[in-house]
Amino acid sequence: MKTYIKYSGILIAGLLLGWLLFGRGGSSEVASNASHEHTEDENGMWTCSMHPQIQQPEPGQCPICAMDLVPVSAEDSGSLEEAQFKLSERAVALANIQTTMVGDVQSTEGGITLSGKIMENEEGMVMQASHFGGRVEKLYINSTGEKIYPGKLLAEIYSPKLVTAQEELLTALEIRSEQPELYKAVRSKLKLWKLSEAQIHEIQNSGKVKYNIPVYADVSGIVTEKMIEEGEHVSEGGALYKVTNLNTVWAVFDAYESQIKMLRKGQKVKVKVNAFPDEEIDAVIDFVDPVLNTTTRTVPVRVVLRNSNDKLKPGMFVSGRIVVNLQEGSSQISIPKSAVLWTGKRSVVYVKSPAEGSVFEMREVELGNAMNDSYMVISGLENGEEVVTNGAFTVDAAAQLQGKKSMMNKDGGRTSTGHEHHQMNMEGEQMNMEGEPMKMEVETAFQDQLRDVFLNYEKLKDHLVADKAEDAGKSAKAVLTSLEKVDMKLLKDQKMHQQWMAIEKEIRKTSTSIGNSKDIAEQRKAFKPLSEHMIYGVELFGINQKVYKQFCPMYDNNAGANWLSLEKEIRNPYFGDAMLTCGEVKKTIE
């Protein structure tokens, strides 16, 4: 009993001592927490994630878009600089964000890649002429693409001069023994009109005049153009057919102004034909055009290719990698093409800070020539810096969500849309394994409204193809009209809502720019970002119609540009008639 009383006393004393040492601190902490919760309840503000200008002291719905309001939370920027922002390690891992350290390229052999197409070798192009004048009674070659060779029958021509000359021959033949020189002179005249010995002997042996004289080919090659029709008159020396010898062809590439200084006659070129992607042809530059095309700002660069097996057809698309050497002792920073984000004339990258954790900031860069899969950097980066090469769009989305400088918001400040180019969820929920947007399940009514927007975009694209700036402006305004009819409340999910708000804002901005401009070059500049957002919207929400995502590698100083089309056939809206068929189908969106 005494022992029990003894231990009970020790326990009570211990509890009393614990209260004296820790109880007041614990009470203070509880009080502090209580005070904190009370302050947050009293002073907390609620906002709309899509319209941050809405600030209310109580929860509820956004008066603009009817979305639920969320609490305003202060961002803990810590010791970060103004332009920097931080991502969690989980977000970096899920979005598969990868970086590469940039470095100097010193006096190394590199290359630039140009796009072009196969053309006829003009040096092998000839005209098959008629050597006497008259009326074309019969043509034996009636379509292009047919092969001809010396001696092949081409046409029959009625020629009054030849009729008279034949009569003179028959008369001279009768007095040949008396006036041999006259006979020889008449025969020589017929030979000047390219009548063969066999034809002359036939006239002499029959003793009759031939009214329709056959014309035989004296060149070989492929007929590429028929210059005359039956019943028409041809003059002496007039063209019947344009004929091209395709034993050799030209590959003609377009080089931009910034690349001209790196090109010269005699440089080696590795040529790949799109029709035969596994084959590579060695060639050399034969000619660099001294005149700049002021429409495309390019210079034609030509190489000659052997074509004895007729595999290379005029009109085929080709690419050429031209080997160049940087100047001795020069050094320049090189970055992978995947690191660069484009917006209009600006090109930006995201640089990872050497500070602890995943800290990034946007950096504008000035790019030089493209070298294989890299760009030379003129300014904006230093040797040893680390740039994002995979997941750059995701990092850009985070920058906008945190109100930092970003691709579409170069001055920073919180925006209402998150990512204004390719909004992506930071937990990777809206990207597939290829980094493309995963299609969302939305109501058919919304898809129908989006399809109306797309169909007006399609008309705008066709007007740019046809070089009709005024009509393009009208179609851009029609895009805006159809955009007003899209009911965003049909998107019940918050993420869908955010995605559409991002896309809608940029479609509105770029369409307005096109509608207000009468300069087709400026309209085409705005059409590139418009197309990117339209592509993203169609891929994300769908329009219940098959469309083709197409790509031109030569627009925007070889940066390339996408567009959408209902037709599989390439009709380029960025160059129009200047390069109507430049491009390829990159994807079919079902």
The string of pLDDT tens digits covering residues 411-469 is 665 443 333 333 333 333 344 433 455 566 788 898 899 999 999 999 999 999 999 99
Please indicate whether residue 115 or residue 92 has the higher confidence score (pLDDT).
115
Q: What average pLDDT does range 277-287 have in this prediction?
A: 91
Give me the pLDDT at residue 112, please: 78
Q: Which two tokens stand for residue 533?
A: 């957002």
- The 10s digit of each residue's pLDDT in 549-559 is 999 988 887 77
- Residue 7's identity, in one-letter code, is Y
Q: Which two tokens stand for residue 371?
A: 């070298």
> Among 65-69, 75-79, 256-260, 367-371, where is mean pLDDT lowest?
75-79
Give me the pLDDT at residue 344, please: 56
> Among 105-109, 148-152, 536-540, where is mean pLDDT lowest?
105-109
What is the spatial distance between Cα 586 and Cα 584, in angstroms, rounded to a whole number?
A: 6
What is the spatial distance between Cα 398 and Cα 428, in angstroms, rounded to a whole number?
A: 12
What is the spatial distance between Cα 126 and Cα 306, in angstroms, rounded to a whole number?
A: 18
What is the spatial distance between Cα 451 and Cα 37, in angstroms, rounded to a whole number?
A: 49
Give me the pLDDT at residue 500, please: 81
> Among 53-57, 196-200, 384-388, 470-474, where is mean pLDDT lowest?
53-57
Give me the pLDDT at residue 530, please: 93
Enter the DSSP assignment of 492. -
97 φ, ψ (degrees, to nearest 5): -75, 125
Please report which residue ranges of 431-564 form alpha helices under DSSP H.
444-465, 469-484, 494-515, 520-541
Give me the pLDDT at residue 472, please: 93
Please say if the pLDDT value at position 301 is more than 60.
Answer: yes
* pLDDT band for position 193 (cuts 50, 70, 90): confident
> Among 195-204, 208-217, 332-341, 470-479, where is mean pLDDT lowest?
332-341
307 φ, ψ (degrees, to nearest 5): -145, 45
Give me the pLDDT at residue 560, please: 82
Provide the greatest CA pair distance for the chain. 172
Q: What average pLDDT does range 2-11 have in this prediction?
A: 45
Please say if the pLDDT value at position 292 is more than 50.
Answer: yes
Q: Which residues contact 79 (CB under 8 A, 6 or more apart)?
A: none
* pLDDT band for position 481 (cuts 50, 70, 90): very high
- Residue 26's identity, in one-letter code, is G
> Among 112-116, 126-130, 482-486, where is mean pLDDT lowest?
112-116
What is the spatial distance between Cα 303 and Cα 465, in angstroms, rounded to a whole number?
A: 29
Q: DSSP characters for 390-429? A: ESHHHHHHHHHHTT---SS-TT----SSS-SSS---TTST
- The 10s digit of each residue's pLDDT in 510-527 is 999 999 999 999 999 999
What is the set of domains in the chain, with CATH numbers? 2-71 (no CATH), 110-121+246-325 (2.40.30.170), 123-244 (2.40.50.100), 444-589 (no CATH)
Q: Which two tokens stand for residue 558?
A: 């070889």
Give me the pLDDT at residue 566, please: 93
Please, are residues 239 and 129 in contact by the beta-carbon 8 Å criterion? yes
Please say if the pLDDT value at position 332 is more than 90.
Answer: no
Q: DSSP characters for 301-348? A: EEEEEE-TT----TT-EEEEEEEEEPPTT-EEEEEEGGG-EEETTEEE
Q: Which two tokens stand for residue 150?
A: 């010396």
Please, are residues 514 and 564 in contact by the beta-carbon 8 Å criterion? no
Please say if the pLDDT value at position 5 is more than 90.
Answer: no
Please indicate whether residue 110 or residue 198 has the higher confidence score (pLDDT).
198
56 φ, ψ (degrees, to nearest 5): -130, 150
> Among 121-125, 385-389, 416-420, where is mean pLDDT lowest?
416-420
* DSSP β-bridge partners for residue 342: 347
- The 10s digit of each residue's pLDDT in 211-249 is 998 999 988 888 988 998 999 999 988 899 999 888 899
Q: DSSP characters for 270-289? A: EEEETTEEEEEEEEEEEEE-
Parallel, antiparallel, or unpaired: how do β-strands 147-148 and 212-216 relate?
unpaired
Record the pTM: 0.44
Please, are residues 535 and 564 in contact by the beta-carbon 8 Å criterion? yes
Give me the pLDDT at residue 8, please: 46
Please say if the pLDDT value at position 505 is more than 90.
Answer: no
Q: What is the mean pLDDT of the chain?
A: 78
Q: Which residues contact 209 (CB under 8 A, 6 or more apart)?
A: 163, 166, 167, 170, 203
* DSSP β-bridge partners for residue 386: 101, 352
Give me the pLDDT at residue 547, please: 94
Please say if the pLDDT value at position 108 is more than 80.
Answer: no
* pLDDT band for position 371 (cuts 50, 70, 90): low
Q: Across 165-179, 213-227, 490-504, which has the greatest mean pLDDT?
A: 213-227
Query: In 121-178, at which residue ranges do the beta strands (DSSP E only) sit?
Result: 125-129, 134-139, 147-148, 153-158
